[in-house]
């Protein structure tokens, strides 16, 4: 009986060691993704002026080389959850956020514009219409950029 228990524990230990060698740990992968996100926030023209901070990434393993998770992204002291998908093959890691994931940036920027416009002299109808048009144009640019980034990431994923 003791021999069977020992074999069971040894088998469990061997399986654990084997499983741990199959790929990066979730914690290590999460940190790699967080660092990659922060690098994008610091260097990508689309993000660097906002001072975004990738605070924490939490991942769960889906299957094979695929992971899903959430990143806590801080803007102006407030954390925003961004859903991400990750593919890791042991050598490379790629993460992506679906289109619209960073829409909170546009919302905050629009709120700043609205707040500053309320402090200014009242807008005429023509000025308000132009303001609304500019906001719509900016929102469309953000949506289009998100779509382009998403399609680029999908092509990279499919190409690998």
pLDDT digits (tens, 9 = 90+) for 17-41: 334 455 679 999 999 999 999 999 9
Beta strands in 1-159 (DSSP E): 53-63, 66-75, 78-88, 93-96
pLDDT at position 13:
32
CB-based burial label for 95 (10 Å; 0-12, 13-18, 19+) = buried
pLDDT digits (tens, 9 = 90+) for 112-139: 888 876 655 566 888 888 988 999 898 8
Check whether 79 has a pLDDT greater than 50.
Answer: yes
pLDDT at position 155:
84
Is residue 71 within 8 Å of residue 86, measured between CB atoms?
Answer: no
Is residue 16 classed as helix, strand or coil in its secondary structure? helix
Q: In which band, very low, low, confident or very high, does the pLDDT at 143 lie, cut at 50, 70 and 90?
A: confident
CA-CA distance, 24 to 2, in Å (whole number)? 34
């Amino acid at each position: 009986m003791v021999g069977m228990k020992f074999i069971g524990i040894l088998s469990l230990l061997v399986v654990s060691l084997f499983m741990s060698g199959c790929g990066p740990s979730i914690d290590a992968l999460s940190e790699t993704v967080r660092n990659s996100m922060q690098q994008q926030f610091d260097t990508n023209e689309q993000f660097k002026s906002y001072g975004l901070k990738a605070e924490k990434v939490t991942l769960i393993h889906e299957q094979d080389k695929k992971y899903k998770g959430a990143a806590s992204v801080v803007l102006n002291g407030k954390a925003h959850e961004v859903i991400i998908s990750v593919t890791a093959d042991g050598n490379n890691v790629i993460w992506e956020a679906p289109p619209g994931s960073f829409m909170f940036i546009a919302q905050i920027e629009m709120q700043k514009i609205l707040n500053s416009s309320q402090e200014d002299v009242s807008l005429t109808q023509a000025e308000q219409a132009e303001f609304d048009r500019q906001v719509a144009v900016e929102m469309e640019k953000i949506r289009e950029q998100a779509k382009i980034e998403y399609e680029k990431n999908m092509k990279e994923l499919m190409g690998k």
